Structure 1
């Protein structure tokens, strides 16, 4: 059994003598730009190595993974949910940030809307889904209202947000509070989650067959119905660049905002061994992929050497 290992930041000097180079600790995880990260066994969810994994941070669009799981939990009880039609409101259409490019008055099925949520990371689709399902879900309790779900901007989505939080509690995500259906919400003093909780979320995502299929899809063309009844096609491309490498990576979700930095919740398989890796607060878009791949390579090597 591998023991937990917490990696602390190391400051390196630019000039390293040959003698100093010989003392480099090759058994430690690679130095990465991410402020927090975790590596877990994809089958059990056990965290094998981590750095600041319990520190709460902004996690940006990784939130949409929980949004999708709430919708799919309803579809698990009644498969007809996937064929329900969402009509985009003006409020959903005006949602800022990354978009699914569906306009006010246009319609899309829940089934296809999940691709518009997860692939291009549609903030607008997150709000549209939350508005659609809000009426059939229970409202937030007093504690959730105190945590920010009393925001009048979210009044027509609050019940959906409450269900996201109830599901997080059922999953055991003890350091997570969702305030929007697509990202962080709140100010810098109100972080959303932590790397350890996102490992739990990632395992739930890859355990759901339909979501697992969605998050591994590189490109999908949805059908949008216009107000006059005609249709158009909308192409959605996955923001997760690991998928295009054909190296065993098959999910899960990117996240990018100024306050969260560059984030990535991912999963990959090598020689039958699945890992889940999360990096939060990487320096740049490219750094989150470099950090992630370096962590995977190091972890797989450790597991091979340990014979597990």
Structure 2
């Protein structure tokens, strides 16, 4: 009986000692010493967004309207493919039949990591079709295949580089020709450290949207085509766009991009009545966040331009 009593006494004593220690270690902060509150949400100006940088331009003229952190270079991920597609399309000036050419997919290109157009080594596919595989499912394999196939057309003099390296060099030459000082390419797909400012990327998007086929491709939600494999057998490919804004009336492009370094990016095109805007968001905190950021920017911008429901 004494042992039982003693044990209970010990437990009670232990509980009291813990409670006293806890109270002793608790620090009560006076109200006047607490961290300052953040500023209240502003009632005017553009909405708060999670993106690191954004820019809005007028679709009809390419004129910049509003922006934030627009000149700071950001990792651009697969929005890289806007320039890749533009260079393929621009080859029509030198090679009028480029879109009708049938290209053979190199093994190295087919094995490119990341998002894929599901092309295989030795596949034979028309250039026009593979542009959909580049821009809808954001095929890194398609980007690598284009660099190999089209690079030779951009070779200058006795360049010793591979066709793919020549293609990337042309991406940088084109950016320089357009005066895009915050843009640099290291690959044709965006898996690496390609970077651009929101302002520069908006300019690239505006340039690309002047091409009729580019506009047609980026507003397409689903595309099917036929390829011949290395044995000559036919295979059907189906590609769906990664751009969820296409599910909403009034949006008609352009390109998503996501990597760990870049965050979630979106270059988009939207119409309200006769008004056309291009909005770029870079470095949003999530895939869903880039759509929320973008739609809030459109809603605010159209309100500023007098658009109503």
Q: In which range does the TM-score fall when normalised by the shorter chain?
A: 0.7 to 0.9
Deviation of the 1:267 alpha carbon: 0.9
Deviation of the 1:184 alpha carbon: 5.0
**Equivalent residue for 2:238?**
235
**Equivalent residue for 1:3?**
none
**Equivalent residue for 2:248?**
245
Moved beyond 6 Å, runs of 4+: none
TM-score (norm 2): 0.83
**Residues 1:141 and 1:228: Cα distance change in structure 2 (over 3 Å):** closer
Asked if the contact 1:267–1:277 (Cα under 8 Å) also holds between the matched residues in 2, the reply is yes
**Equivalent residue for 1:87?**
104
Deviation of the 1:106 alpha carbon: 1.0
* Unaligned stretches of 5+ residues in structure 2: 1-35
Q: Kindly indicate whether residue 255 of structure 2 is the aligned counterpart of residue 224 of structure 1.
A: no
| Equivalent in 267, 290, 293 of residue 291 of structure 1 | 293
| Equivalent in 46, 49, 53 of residue 32 of structure 1 | 49
State the distance in 1 between where 2:237 and 2:222 align: 11
**Equivalent residue for 1:266?**
268
Q: Secondary structure at the match of 1:160?
A: helix
**Equivalent residue for 1:136?**
153
**Equivalent residue for 1:58?**
75
**Equivalent residue for 1:119?**
136
Asked if the contact 2:150–2:163 (Cα under 8 Å) also holds between the matched residues in 1, the reply is no
Q: Secondary structure at the match of 1:296?
A: helix
Q: Number of aligned pairs?
A: 273
Q: Secondary structure at the match of 1:27?
A: coil
State the distance in 2 between where 1:283 and 1:114 align: 29
Between Structure 1 and Structure 2, whose CA radius of gyration is higher?
2
Where does 1:148-227 land on structure 2 (aligned, <5 Å)?
A: 155-183=162-190, 185-186=192-193, 192-227=195-230
Q: Secondary structure at the match of 1:44?
A: coil
Asked if the contact 1:63–1:184 (Cα under 8 Å) also holds between the matched residues in 2, the reply is no
* Unaligned stretches of 5+ residues in structure 1: 1-11, 143-149
Deviation of the 1:76 alpha carbon: 3.9
TM-score (norm 1): 0.84
State the distance in 1 between where 2:74 and 2:185 align: 12
RMSD: 2.2
Deviation of the 1:136 alpha carbon: 2.3
